[in-house]
Structure 1
Amino acid sequence: MTAPAPLTLRARAAAPVKNVWHALTDAAELRVWLADQAEVELPDRYEFRGPQVPEGDAPHQRLREVGEHSLRFDWLLDGEQTSTEITLTEESTDSTIVTLTQSHWTFQDVITGASIRGVLQTYWSLAIANLVDHVEGRPLTPKVDFTSATMRAEVVVDATPEALYESLTDSAKVSEWFGYPLGIEPEVGGRFAMGGFENDPNPAKVLDLTPGRAMTVDWGPAGVVSWELEGSGGKTKLSFVQSGFDRPPYAAWGGWLSGLAELRRYHELPDWRPIWLYDPTEVVPPEAHAES
């Protein structure tokens, strides 16, 4: 049986490669954007743990290789020795491409929840988004707490509630910043379709809507997602909650949070462009539509 291809994520950081490398390999820096607890002693040690890390009760990483701007480590997850590699490439004096490859990730684990490894795509997406914001001097997005059954986050966006509401309910705008086609009917009973209306035979359903302020969407086994906007001084607090599930859908929660990181950038950067450099269909297989 052929092993699945490694997960690959690529992102652009508007910072020199030396700055990104420092953020990636300095323990104090890691404790800001990745995990509460981290220890680094290159070329022998690269460890991180804590509630923001899957199975983060102890450091399960073992450093295997360090290059000029690359590192590779084993990571024991759910009894399997996985492999993670992070490489930095200088695009220009003020731009760095971050490439991450992760073994032992399959979309089936996302769907079934059979293994904690199902969170790896969204875990690393959120981590890289926070790495990019950190080196660019921007506030970070809240991390997933893998020890908690409460899924709640707040972010402040430098935009009006009206602008933010449109970006959260208009299909074209959501698809632009989320980086993946979404179809939304902003009305009670309306569809919320991953991949667009034509590609999602089992869309989520809008349960409640307060125009200009709030929306609640039923995602079935993944629970109910609700968000609410509160404006003040030209900025908007976005409160986001996911509830009503039997088992915490950490993979989905990480996906929403990494999306919110891009939503903030979408509104706050005048020359916004997505940090991601991949075709989203490469990491979200077609079967995702049928299982949403």
Structure 2
Amino acid sequence: MASVEIPVPPPVRWICDVLRGSGYQAFVVGGGVRDALLGRPVHDWDVATDAPPDAVQRLFPRTVPTGIEFGTVTVIIDSQAVQVTTFRSEGGYRDARHPGWVTFGQRIEDDLKRRDLTVNALAYDPASGRFVDPYGGQADLANRIIRTVGHPVERFQEDALRLMRAVRLAAELGFRLDGRTAAGIRCCAPRLERVSRERVGEEWRRLLAAPDAGRGLMLLYRTRLLPWVLPGAPKLERVAVRRTVAGLERLAPRGAAPTMAARLSRAAPPRAGPGPAPARRC
């Protein structure tokens, strides 16, 4: 993908300018960069910096310490909220979701290393127009591939919600799963049981609202995630999944798919029931 200038909104650019003017690095990162490169609307802009959280709080008049133990401070400008997070490394994931330790750093490359997917491990400097892309995220965007940063099993063992996020993003963007990434999802699928039903349900509803919801549903089935998304449902046979996928695909051109998606989304029980038999160890 050719290098392009990203239209960073003035409030976000101003935050980066203030940080840079105070001697710190500042990049827009993650999903905002991804969506801007794809020409999609960007709903949330995130900034990464080597400024420690207390410095961010001193530099801006209106802030909220939304996740200060993880280095995240929300900066409020007019009605816009922008999350500013200190470069960090992390590890010791204690609950299949959250890191047990966080170390603040000085290099954007180290911060990108902890990201889930290559298409999210992108940073952009609004001042210079420079991209930082150590894992080939721009190439994966161009080739329409969802791939993990580093070894898939390691990424999914750190945070099991990434299992759902990878499939949901493939459905939203119309991308395909990299082979090793798909194999890693199948291997780690039982870990989804450790994620709260609320977070799983949020990803489930977003997947069903995606333009390619039928394909997303089939990806859930093929990666063995579907029984863990709907643990209280009867055994899901391939033919039933195919019929549901076909229904979503027929309804999509008429704009009726969201109605069906809403009905399907309510199928997810509020509490996890007995899941399928554990898969083999990765």
TM-score by length of 2: 0.29
**Structure with the larger RCO, 1 or 2 (CA within 8 Å, 6+ apart):** 1
Larger radius of gyration: 2
